[in-house]
Amino acid sequence: MLDKKNIILTMIGQHRILQKDLNLAMETFTEDTKNKILIIDAALRKFKGDLIEHLNLENGILYTELMREMKEKGEDTTNTENFINEMKKIGDAVIEFLEKYSDEEKIGEHIKELPGELKDIISVLDIRIESEELGVYSYWS
C-alpha cells in the first residue's frame, strides 16, 4: 500500500520548487544582468528536470493508483479521467515551451517573446497546481 500522505506532501513540495524555478527565470527580466540568457537557460533546465521528476510521480503513481482505487470501489471515473487528460495537455504545452527555449541560442533568438510566454506558462502552471491540490490531491488523500 502506498503512503498517500507522503506522496501528496512530496508532490506539493515539488510544486513549490517548480514555481520557484520559473519565478527565478522571470525575475531575471527585471534585473539588469549581463548573463541574462545564461541565468534563464539554467533556470529553465532546472525547471525541466524538476518537472520531469514531478510528472513521473504524478502520472506514473498518483493518477495510476487513483484510477485503480476508484475502479475497485466501482466509482465513475469519467470526470477524473477528463481532469487527468486536461492536466496532461497542460504538461504537453509546458514541454513544448521548454523545447522552444531549450538552449542559450534559442533563448537569445526569442528573447523578446520569452517574458510574455513565460508569464503565460507561470499562470497555466499555477492554475494546474491549484486544480490538483484542491481537487485530485484532496480527493486521493
- Note the pLDDT tens digit of each residue in 28-63: 887 766 788 999 999 999 999 999 999 999 988 888
**pLDDT tens, residue by residue, 62-75:** 889 889 989 999 99
Domain of 97 in residue numbering reads as 4-140
pTM of the model: 0.88
Give CA 89 to chain center in angstroms: 11
* Total number of domains in the chain: 1
Is 87 within 8 Å of 132 (Cβ atoms)?
yes
Handedness of CA 80, 50, 16, 95 (dihedral sign): negative
Q: What is the mean pLDDT of residues 101-129?
A: 94
Nearest to 118 by CA among 15, 52, 34, 24: 24
CA angle 35, 124, 104 (to 5 degrees): 25
